[in-house]
Structures are given as C-alpha cells and as structure tokens.
Structure 1
C-alpha cells in the first residue's frame, strides 16, 4: 500500500481534506462540517474522519489507508494545548501534526515567499512570514477576539435586531428579516445565543454584506465597524515593514471594497488555498518517512 499524505483544513464552518501521494499530487478531496477543536472537539473529530474518508473515496482508495497515512491538520482552536492533546490522541493516522489553520493558509497563499496573510472567515487571524520566521496576530477566539469575523458580524446583527425590537435603535429591513426569522420573539434569539457556536453566528455574515451593498443602515454600520478592526490590524502588519499582503477566506472578497487603500503595498491573490497548503506541509514535514514498500524492501 502506498504511503499517502493527508492535508486537513478544519475551520469553524467546515472541514476539508485532501489525500495526496508522497510527492504531493492531490488524488482526492472531501468535505464535512465544522471542525473547531476548541468549541466542539468531539464533533471536530467526527468531521475530520468524515472529510478524510470522503477524500479517499473520491480518489478511489480504500479508507483503510487512513491508518498508514501521515497528515498535517490546520485546525481552528489549535492554540489551546488541552484541545490539541485531546484531538492528537484520537486521530486515525499513522503520524500527524496539528498546526494552526493560519499556517496552512499562509503556505497555500504565499508558498515559501515572505509576506502576510489575513484569514477572514468565521474567525479572523493574521500570519506574517519574514525571512522564514512566522508570527501571528489575532486569532484569539470568538469570545475575546476574532474582530471583523463572520461570527462577530452575525452576533452583532442579532444584537441590533434586539435593540431595534426594544425601540432603542432604529430598525432596518435587515433587522426586520432577522426578527421575523425568530417569530419576533426576543426569547427565541436568547435561546439561540445560549447554545450557538461561532459558525451558527457566521451564517448571517453573507446577508449582512448583501444588505450593506444596497444601503441597509444597520448592515452598513456593522460592516464599516468590522472593516475598521481589520484595517487596524493591517496597519500594524504594514508597520512591521511588510509590503506584501494576501487576503484569504470566505469573507475576503466581500471585505475588499470596504478596506483602506494602501499605496505601495502589494496585494496578491492567493497562489493556492489553505487545503493545498496543508498538503504541501504534509509533504515537507514527512518527506523522510519511508513508504510501507520501502520499509519492506529494507527488511
């Protein structure tokens, strides 16, 4: 059996997996649900396995190959040691390394070149590579960070809907739509918020941008505030003498018109996506691992 490399991109909304040969050519891809190991580690494990099995199936490979594969997993929530230990002990792979989802986005977007990547999705986090050294800004999680994220936008929208319901702030078509979804019952919004994960809030982000595009005042205010948070971080990155920026993630193209222009700063389109970056790292990190065939020949 060949010695496969697996890349995992596990975020707050979905988990994607790719299986490749030892040289890095992707053979199959799979997708499943959210894989934030901090907010819901048990579900993350299920979705990691489901996405990987789907990748093996698309490649026409037996799923039993998971047990001999080596993997790099870029996972949201990887900055909490207990969560990483819990996941690492239960993964189905022969060898695996858990890294930040930011690192795989950086590798996918820039390859091995220097620059900074802003990952704008359900969460927000920023990575910088300078002369081979990688550092990160943000990414502290929904409860105390992730400013400008899809989760924060969704949370802000529900807050504005409640304020409009109580007559504290003006209503708008968007707040009316949200209130109608919950039957104009604040108790229903409160119950939702009591159990909601970042991805549950994040699903409202596209509607906020759509409403802002047609001038909904609540949506415009929410997006402008979020864009200001992102601009502040980008300013801090540029102040570190970074001259190449790349915006990635599901919200990146939606934010571009709302962000400040920065003359002299190169804004690149990503070379590849985070999943491709995870595969590339898996090939790099496990390049010296022999295949089962090589191991058998050496005996």
Structure 2
C-alpha cells in the first residue's frame, strides 16, 4: 500500500487529503457537498471527485484510487443506514465511514481528552473523557443543527417573511434579503423548495456581519444561535482546563461571542477534521507507529 486517503464531507463541500502510510500529506483537493443523508448519490460522486483531484494534485494517476484505503468523516453518517449504503458503492480498497464529529475530534485533540464543536453548515459536538466519547447533535437542520449556518440562513428567511407580513419590524437585513428575491416573497418560498443545507448556510456570514453592525434582526438571530451552541456545550459537562476546540467556517465568529466560561476553555485544534481523517486512516490501515507532523 502506497497511500491512504482522508475525506471530510459536509453540507457545503468535500475535502480529500492524500497521504503516505506514515501520515505525511502529499496533496489536498476539494469538491462539492457530501452530506450522505440529503444526497447519497451526489455525495458519492463528490467524494470520488475530491479523491481524484487529490491524486492529480500529488502527481499520481487517479487509477490508484482502487488500491487506496480511505477514512471518511461525513455529515449524515450518524443516522439510518446511509454509511453502510455508501461503503458498498465506494471505489476505495477499504472504506471506513465515520461521522464528521469523529474525525473532527481526532483532529482537534488527538487521542486525549477534550471536546470539539463543529460550527459550519451543520453543527455537531463531541467530548472524550477517559477514552470514552459522547456525541451531541448532528441531526440535520430540519430537526436539529441548532446554531448551524443552515439554521441561521433558514431563520433569516423566516424573519424576512415575518417582516414582509408586518408581524415583526423590518431591518436593513430583511429588506436586503427580500431584494435578493426581487421583492417577491413567493420567490423566496420557491427557493426553499429544493434548497439544501448549504444553500441556506450561504446566508449565515451576512447575518453575523450585519449583527456586528447593529442590525436588530441579525442580532436576534445570532443571539439565539449563540444560546443554542452554549446549551449544547453545557451538556458536555466540561471541566476547568478541558480543551475545547471550535471547528468549521463559523467557528471564528462564534469564538468572539461565547460567554467567558467557554472562552476560557478555548484551545487551537491540533489539526483540522481532514487531518483527523488522515490520522485515523494511518491508525486503522497501516502499521505506522507515528503520524507525521
């Protein structure tokens, strides 16, 4: 075996890292969304495409995919039989599908105790104490993923319609959002018919930006999201001194808004989720004693 693959797939994008058996990453690549619960076939295609691009970026033929084992941490792998279905249609020599939280924790704190929160298109939390892990959330934005980019975007569209109907006061942000849909609330509703989590999540950075500028609706949405994140962190029962790592595209925005209790626990992650997938692949598929830095 010449290589291992680490894959990190979520509602917005899929990343792949090609590494040597000792964990030295040779190349990274990125493709489209890979939430296996919302689009199993599309996720499979994007996973393979990210792997193919990683081989090309490293100067190797993608034909080696079939001889390469992979660890995949994917949104949607925590429910149903999606992970088993995916494993049967992947082209890798061996496939180990884990949740995105598992590889994120591995990357953030290595093999020790600590906790991490994924704050991106979706949200998920995991803590490890004395070698035992506990996961929170990750149920998808229709019934979970509170504080996620997808939920923030959905809340923004909801508040925009409420403002249009005069149920709540409008703000510059709701006016701007309605203008995106040509001032037609029906177009906004039609957008939601086929929108995926990443489509909703695309509005989240604007909400944080407008909140920082004092927009009332944006501050209401962000305040609710921060409360949701802290409620989930509270369930993890973190002790003073436990490292807490925030991961995902919204992590820097949340880090500034958490209460002092959680800000005191924040530590930079040892690696990102993609690095965690590579580390796990090395541990599972090779005899390497150490992962390369």
TM-score (norm. length: structure 1): 0.93
The residue number in structure 1 matching 2:84 is 85
Q: Confirm whether residue 170 of structure 1 aligns to residue 176 of structure 2.
A: no
Deviation at 1:86, TM superposition (A): 1.9
Deviation at 1:259, TM superposition (A): 1.2
Q: Give 5+ residue unaligned stretches, structure 2.
A: 289-293
Preserved contact between residue 8 and residue 14 of structure 2 (Cα < 8 Å): yes
TM-score (norm. length: structure 2): 0.95
Preserved contact between residue 255 and residue 263 of structure 2 (Cα < 8 Å): no
Give me the whole-angstrom Cα distance separating, in 2, the residues matched to 1:243 and 1:21: 32
In the TM superposition, structure 1's runs of 4+ consecutive aligned residues that sit over 6 Å from their partners are none
Give 1:1-299 correspondences, 5 Å limit. Answer: 2-238=1-237, 243-262=242-261, 265-288=264-287
Preserved contact between residue 244 and residue 265 of structure 1 (Cα < 8 Å): no
Deviation at 1:239, TM superposition (A): 5.4
Deviation at 1:240, TM superposition (A): 7.0
Q: Give 5+ residue unaligned stretches, structure 1.
A: 290-299
For residue 34 of structure 1, give the secondary structure of its aligned residue in structure 2.
coil
Moved more, 202-211 or 106-115: 106-115
Deviation at 1:122, TM superposition (A): 0.5
Give me the whole-angstrom Cα distance separating, in 2, the residues matched to 1:274 and 1:149: 17
Q: Count residues with an aligned counterpart.
A: 288
Moved more, 266-275 or 216-225: 266-275
Give me the whole-angstrom Cα distance separating, in 2, the residues matched to 1:264 and 1:83: 36
For residue 246 of structure 1, give the secondary structure of its aligned residue in structure 2.
strand
Give me the whole-angstrom Cα distance separating, in 1, the residues matched to 2:215 and 2:271: 34
Preserved contact between residue 243 and residue 264 of structure 1 (Cα < 8 Å): no
Moved more, 262-271 or 117-126: 262-271
Closer/same/farther in 2, CA of residues 196 and 183 from structure 1, 3 Å limit: same
Q: CA RMSD in A?
A: 1.6
Deviation at 1:82, TM superposition (A): 2.3
